[in-house]
Amino acid sequence: MLSKKTKYAFHALTYLGKHRDQGAILIQEISEKYGISHKFLENILLELKKAGFLGSKKGKGGGYYLIKDPTEIPLSRVIRLLDGPIALLPCVSLNYYEPCEECENQEQCGLNKVMIRVRDETLKILEMKTLQDILEEE
Amino acid sequence: MLSKKTKYAFHALTYLGKHRDQGAILIQEISEKYGISHKFLENILLELKKAGFLGSKKGKGGGYYLIKDPTEIPLSRVIRLLDGPIALLPCVSLNYYEPCEECENQEQCGLNKVMIRVRDETLKILEMKTLQDILEEE
DNA sequence: AATAAGTCTATAAATTTTGTAGGTTTTGTA
DNA sequence: TACAAAACCTACAAAATTTATAGACTTATT
């Protein structure tokens, strides 16, 4: 399951996407809208900024705004940033690969093969679908 | 990611599947083979038994054995039993459905739609692939 | 009777996730 | 130029979940 952090990130991105024409948006505005703790959301927005999705402005009249085009924010990138691996096993993760401790050799692990398929099918969707698609749905 | 519990369950099932002709197998034998704590594995095997996958025999010469045909143990059932929901959002889970707290109405939630697709593609694989497939791979 | 195994319930330890505190920096504006 | 508003940053705390352990109980075999 996606963590709250990731869900909140999607809410924030969606909100900022919808209000792109309105300049900088206060953390407060988003946190109130979705009932997210201000401070928690602060951390999340900061991560999204560091990842290059958002821009920000300090001081009075400041806030956050989307700097990437929504078509260039695949859902997979947001999930990986906040939640980590998308794969169901570490030995199958493209971005966070680790061998499974208990497995002697993953070449002959039956689970490994299935989970590669699951990963690939999942990624097909999560890499193709972007924030733009979310915005269009709502 | 799958929990250790689930991974251990798959290891145990695979081991029991491979040694189906050898009667009851000791917890100890499996726990040593994969380096799993005896007591932890105990709990897992008990759950698998209660779910109808395994049988057991107490006392000397006792142990666990597979009672279901491996073709009738889809991976999805094992995951759901030990790990819970397969879906990435509660509002999209077939077996553990819950509405998302922050969502006003999930009908117009863009994430919801995508996650239904991810769930369906994942389930296509995890419901079709069974313990039998794992055994054949190894 | 003794021993070997699984059964059961409760609890503890470790880890991860979620949330909070409080000071720092930047910027607009009076 | 001083003040206030807002993001920035680091560290910590609380809560929840996962992983692991303890120990007494039951059942079967010899």
Q: Which residue is nearest to nucleotide D30 (CA to C1')?
A: B60
Query: Rounded mean pLDDT of A75-91?
Result: 97
Cross-chain residue pair B114–A1, CB shorter than 8 Å:
no
Is B74 contained in some domain? no
Q: Are A92 and A58 found together in one domain?
A: no
Q: What percent of chain B has pLDDT over 70?
A: 100
Q: Are B91 and B61 found together in one domain?
A: no
CA of A43 to C1' of C2 (A): 63
Residue A131: both structure tokens together: 């924030």
Query: Rounded mean pLDDT of B109-124?
Result: 96
CA A18 – CA A136 distance, rounded (Å): 10
| pLDDT tens digits, one per residue of A6-22 | 999 999 999 999 999 99
Q: Are A24 and A51 found together in one domain?
A: yes
Q: How confident is the model at residue B50, as a pLDDT? A: 97
Count of the separate structural domains present in chain B = 2
Q: How confident is the model at residue B107, as a pLDDT? A: 83
Query: Which residue range is the domain that position B123 belongs to?
Result: 79-130
Q: Are A22 and A39 found together in one domain?
A: yes
Q: Are B94 and B41 found together in one domain?
A: no
Is B138 contained in some domain? no
Q: What percent of chain B has pLDDT over 90?
A: 91
Q: What is the DSSP string of A23-55?
A: --B-HHHHHHHHT--HHHHHHHHHHHHHTTSEE
Instruction: Reduce the DSSP state of residue B94 to 3 states and report it.
Output: coil
| pLDDT tens digits, one per residue of A94-111 | 999 999 887 878 888 999
What positions of strand C are covered by protein, i.e. any atom < 7 Å from a CB? 3-10, 17-22, 25-29
| pLDDT tens digits, one per residue of A28-68 | 999 999 999 999 999 999 999 999 999 999 999 999 999 99
Long-range contacts of A36-45 (CB under 8 A, 24+ apart): A36/A8, A36/A11, A36/B102, A40/A5, A40/A8, A41/A8, A41/A12, A44/A5, A44/A8, A44/A9, A44/A12, A44/A82, A45/A12
CA A63 – CA A29 distance, rounded (Å): 10
Q: How confident is the model at residue A23, as a pLDDT? A: 93
Which residues in chain A have Cβ-Cβ distances shorter than 8 Å to B102? 7-8, 11, 34-36
Q: Is the CB of B60 under 7 A from strand D?
A: yes
CATH of the domain at A62: 1.10.10.10
Q: How confident is the model at residue A106, as a pLDDT? A: 82
Task: Characterize B63-97 residue by residue with b for buried, 16 or more Cβ atoms within 10 angstroms of its Cβ, and e for exposed.
Answer: bbbbebebeebbbbbbbbbbbebbbbbbbbbeeee
Place of tokens 């695949």: A74
Q: What's the gap in Å between the CA of B112 and the closest CA on chain A?
A: 9
Answer whether residue A89 shows pLDDT above 90: yes
**DSSP 8-state secondary structure symbol assigned to residue B63:** E
Q: Are B14 and B39 found together in one domain?
A: yes
Q: Are A54 and A78 found together in one domain?
A: no
Which residues in chain A have Cβ-Cβ distances shorter than 8 Å to B35? 101-102
Dihedral of the CA atoms A94, A99, A100, A104 (nearest 10)? 140
Is residue B49 within 8 Å of B78, Cβ to Cβ?
Answer: no
Q: How confident is the model at residue B55, as a pLDDT? A: 97
| pLDDT tens digits, one per residue of B50-74 | 999 999 999 999 999 999 999 999 9
Q: Of the candidates A24, A41, A66, which is a domain's last residue?
A: A66
Answer whether residue B132 shows pLDDT above 90: yes
Label residue A119 by pLDDT band (50, 70, 90).
very high
The residue in chain A having the minimum alpha-carbon distance to the alpha carbon of residue B103 is A34
The residue in chain B having the minimum alpha-carbon distance to the alpha carbon of residue A124 is B118
Q: Are A103 and A129 found together in one domain?
A: yes
Q: How confident is the model at residue A138, as a pLDDT? A: 84
Answer whether residue B116 shows pLDDT above 80: yes
CA A90 – CA A8 distance, rounded (Å): 25
CA A36 – CA A31 distance, rounded (Å): 5
Answer whether residue A2 shows pLDDT above 90: yes
Which residues in chain A have Cβ-Cβ distances shorter than 8 Å to B137? 108-110, 113
Q: Are A91 and A53 found together in one domain?
A: no
Cross-chain residue pair A125–B118, CB shorter than 8 Å:
yes
Q: Which residue is nearest to nucleotide C19 (CA to C1')?
A: A40
Is B120 contained in some domain? yes
Answer whether residue B104 shows pLDDT above 80: no
Closest to A7 measured CA to CA, from B80, B91, B84, B116: B91
The residue in chain B having the minimum alpha-carbon distance to the alpha carbon of residue A134 is B110
CA of A91 to C1' of C29 (A): 56
Q: How confident is the model at residue B11, as a pLDDT? A: 97
